[in-house]
Structure 1
Amino acid sequence: MARKKYTEVEKELMKGIAFNLRAILKRKGLTQKELAEGTELSTSVISDYLNEKTLATPGSIQKIADYLKVSKAEIDPTFQSKNNIYNSNLIPIVGNVCAGDGLLAEQNIEDYVYYPMPNKIQPDFALRVKGDSMSGIGIEDGDIVYIKKSSWADFNGQVVVALINGDEEGTLKRMKWSEGSPVINLVPENEKYKSIKALPNEITICGVYMGHFKLNNSL
């Protein structure tokens, strides 16, 4: 069976988990085989985690942390929470994106999520996706999307979070326009949904998309 294709963010997470696991095993003088036996995970699963081939699941992370007597955050930094906000790579999750019918604009910080690319421009906040209107580019229900604050798209066709007509309900869509036309099209990546058409003065852009990962399904 073909291996799952991971996003760049997920690949960075895999790399971080593998690095942390190797360091902990070395510190404790344990082998891959001993870790597999102690956690009741197969040696192939442990090997895949250590060799950056598979992204560890929440259950596996818990088993490994329990056996090694370490915190989950020592293995996977995405488990860090708002108690660790001193970490500059922790991005606030501020609400839910309803990627079918709109954005649930709850601006209270729910938690913090790790951004695994410290040498790149950091997002300003993250949103939790609800719906499947952007599934064509791999953004699905339950995913976490990283957002950089912006008042307009950087280029024609960029994915943005937009509010329409001053409402508190918004949407995650691809923003497109045509030369000579004032109409802005907010385009889904799922043929089940229709594009939203609006004039520039009817749209408020909250930010632009910077990447995503599958927190609920992959970690």
Structure 2
Amino acid sequence: MRNSMEMGSYIESVLNRIGMKPIELANRIGVDRSTVTRYLKGTRKISMEDVPKIANAIGINPVELLMDENDKKPTNVIDISQRTVKIPVLGEIACGDPILAEENYEDYRDELAESLPAGELVYLKAKGDSMSPTIPSGSFVLVRAQSDVENGEIAAVLVNGNTEATLKRVKKQGDVIILMPDNSSHQPYIVDKNNPAKIIGKAIRFTQDL
């Protein structure tokens, strides 16, 4: 079985082969870039819970990540199909309906259950370039339902009378909350009584269809 350094080196070789940057891997598995950097250097152990998440994100079998070609593979192992679940895609929000009500969904996306974080999950499609380059327009962003996020985290936020969900970085300065775009060509949104907003979830990771 590979040790932490060997696993990190193997992940890095796969990333180079498929042309994926560490920041994209971080977004896909729901961690920050520094965590992935430590994984690649072998200075942070990858938990068994995270092995299938990383393997799925880079398109390999979890066993391939854990074991090298010199490990003796058992001959009586039967592959078990990985379970998938349907994650709803949030569309237009009907006034008066609960935010995560079925009436507000426009589609569903299949995901491996093993790769998903705990909690109530929904996808939100990024529209426009306000969060570029962090989140490209057209990306599907996985959001975990929660009413608040830490300072500097990206959240799904309701604006325009709770009828539109947008993705913004939440900045907290005392009692003031500012919704910041990552694209400097867009203006920040200062939350006050004239511009109300409601956090509905934390952005975990994003995916793109080719």
- TM-score, L = length of structure 2: 0.55
CA distance in 1, matches of 2:119, 2:176: 31
State the match for 1:175 in structure 2: 170
- 8 Å CA contact 2:149–2:170 kept in 1: the answer is no
Instruction: Give the Å deviation of 1:141.
Output: 1.4
C-alpha RMSD over aligned residues: 3.2
When the two structures are aligned, how many residues end up with a matched partner? Answer: 140
CA distance in 1, matches of 2:202, 2:185: 23
- 8 Å CA contact 1:91–1:115 kept in 2: the answer is no
CA distance in 1, matches of 2:105, 2:116: 27
State the match for 1:203 in structure 2: 197
Q: Deviations over 1:58-80 (max 9, x none)?
A: xxxxxxxxxxxxxxxx8xx8xxx
Aligned AA (2:203): Y
Question: Secondary structure of 1:7's match?
Answer: helix
Q: Map of 1:58-77 to 2, 5 A cutoff? A: none
- 8 Å CA contact 2:143–2:203 kept in 1: the answer is yes
Instruction: Give the Å deviation of 1:122.
Output: 4.9
Instruction: Give the Å deviation of 1:136.
Output: 3.2
Match of 1:111 among 98, 102, 108: 108
Q: Which runs of 4+ in 1 moved over 4 A?
A: none
Distance 1:123 1:140, change over 3 A: farther
Instruction: Give the Å deviation of 1:123.
Output: 5.2
Distance 1:119 1:93, change over 3 A: closer
Bigger mean CA deviation after superposition, 159-168 or 196-205: 196-205
- 8 Å CA contact 1:188–1:195 kept in 2: the answer is yes
Q: Is the counterpart of residue 161 in structure 1 residue 179 in structure 2?
A: no
Distance 1:196 1:13, change over 3 A: same
- 8 Å CA contact 1:148–1:207 kept in 2: the answer is yes
Distance 1:142 1:13, change over 3 A: farther
Structure 1 residues not aligned, in runs of 5+: 23-49, 52-73, 78-86, 97-105
